[in-house]
Structure 1
């Protein structure tokens, strides 16, 4: 996942964002949209340590009510938007052969991914804010690359998702569907598979 400079004030670009890193999210605070940093990988308030974050960076839309980790923030309406320039996905060509793709909006504007946030208090007393990205079934053009995709929210859905519109949870859940508009996809270098690699060139298209 790539998060550019336009995502948050004074935020250094991250061209290969990975779970457990601190990334910008947008949420409602006292009725106003605010951009803040949070840890990618949701830490439930009941977690004993931060290790659980490695398994909660994505939340299946179908499991928000059945999974203990996500049920409470969902019911508390602790929803957020995760702004990114694009996200990466790996296409399986053979059992042990995959190639990475970057997926973005056609105009390369910021993409708003649906997320949930939570607060967790560490054994030392520190409050850690974390988040998860919600995934759903792939759209028709994403299906050849992967069997899941993040929920991408169009601008018209932002007020409802953030809670500015007073909507029931059932109505909000209707937003958790495959993206209905066109996306652009291109092959990128396999260096994105190493979390230590983070140059801007990672998002550049490579020849087929």
Structure 2
């Protein structure tokens, strides 16, 4: 029996100018382009609204505590009823740009067979909605971290994973970043207007090849289209 698991990984191949134009960013603070495989606990790019302007900044992927449920991926159906996340939902929303998600296919717990890539047909950049937190630690370090919001997976992905990140079109990303929008019912409606049904999935690498190739191979030359 073939099973699969979501890697909780994604990629982003876009320069700062592309993102600035797409998301109308006023200031780029930190950005690393052409990242072929991004995982939990790593630094990721996120667009936020701070002091009335849109900024592209860097956040660690995973809220504190990192082991808690919703640390890296937060279920849309839960966040609006969580008192612990209420302040973030109302005032600290972000969008995380990406161009693909990854799923591992495996035949057993010990044997992985390949890596699947999930992307829009045009392989264009999309926005994943998120929540972010930032504070200064006792040592004086500014800590910035975030989580990505998920929804029920589309039929093609459901056999692999029950939940997957929400993918927002540009107008929904604008609404999600709008600081004047604080009504939870309206925010729920924003997340429902997503791009998820347009996603396509294809194989990019066998497990053996994945161990030998560098990350750049993951974003090109698919083995077989789905």
For 1:106, what is the secondary structure of its paired residue?
Answer: coil
For 2:167, what is the secondary structure of its paired residue?
Answer: coil
Q: Is 1:203 aligned to 2:219, yes or no?
A: yes
Per the alignment, residue 4 of structure 1 pairs with 13
For 2:35, what is the secondary structure of its paired residue?
Answer: coil
Q: Within 5 A, what are the aligned runs for 1:1-208?
A: 1-6=10-15, 11-43=32-64, 51-52=66-67, 56-67=71-82, 69-74=84-89, 76-91=90-105, 93-94=107-108, 97-98=111-112, 99-163=114-178, 166=181, 168-177=183-192, 179-189=195-205, 190=207, 199-204=215-220, 205-207=222-224
Q: Distance in 2 between matches of 1:114 and 1:53?
A: 19
Question: What RMSD over aligned residues (CA atoms) do the two structures have, in Å?
Answer: 3.0
1:201 deviation in Å? Answer: 0.4
Q: Decide whether aligned partners of structure 1 residues 68 and 125 sit closer, same or farther in structure 2, where only a CA change above 3 A counts.
A: farther
Q: Decide whether aligned partners of structure 1 residues 104 and 35 sit closer, same or farther in structure 2, where only a CA change above 3 A counts.
A: same
Q: Decide whether aligned partners of structure 1 residues 176 and 94 sit closer, same or farther in structure 2, where only a CA change above 3 A counts.
A: farther
Q: Decide whether aligned partners of structure 1 residues 101 and 160 sit closer, same or farther in structure 2, where only a CA change above 3 A counts.
A: same
Q: Distance in 2 between matches of 1:73 and 1:192?
A: 41
Q: Per residue, is there more strand in 1 or in 2? A: 2
For 2:11, what is the secondary structure of its paired residue?
Answer: coil
TM-score (norm 1): 0.80
Flag structure 1 segments of 5+ consecutive residues without an equivalent: none
Kept after mapping to 2: 8 A contact 1:112/1:153: yes
Q: Distance in 2 between matches of 1:20 and 1:100?
A: 21
Flag structure 2 segments of 5+ consecutive residues without an equivalent: 1-9, 20-27
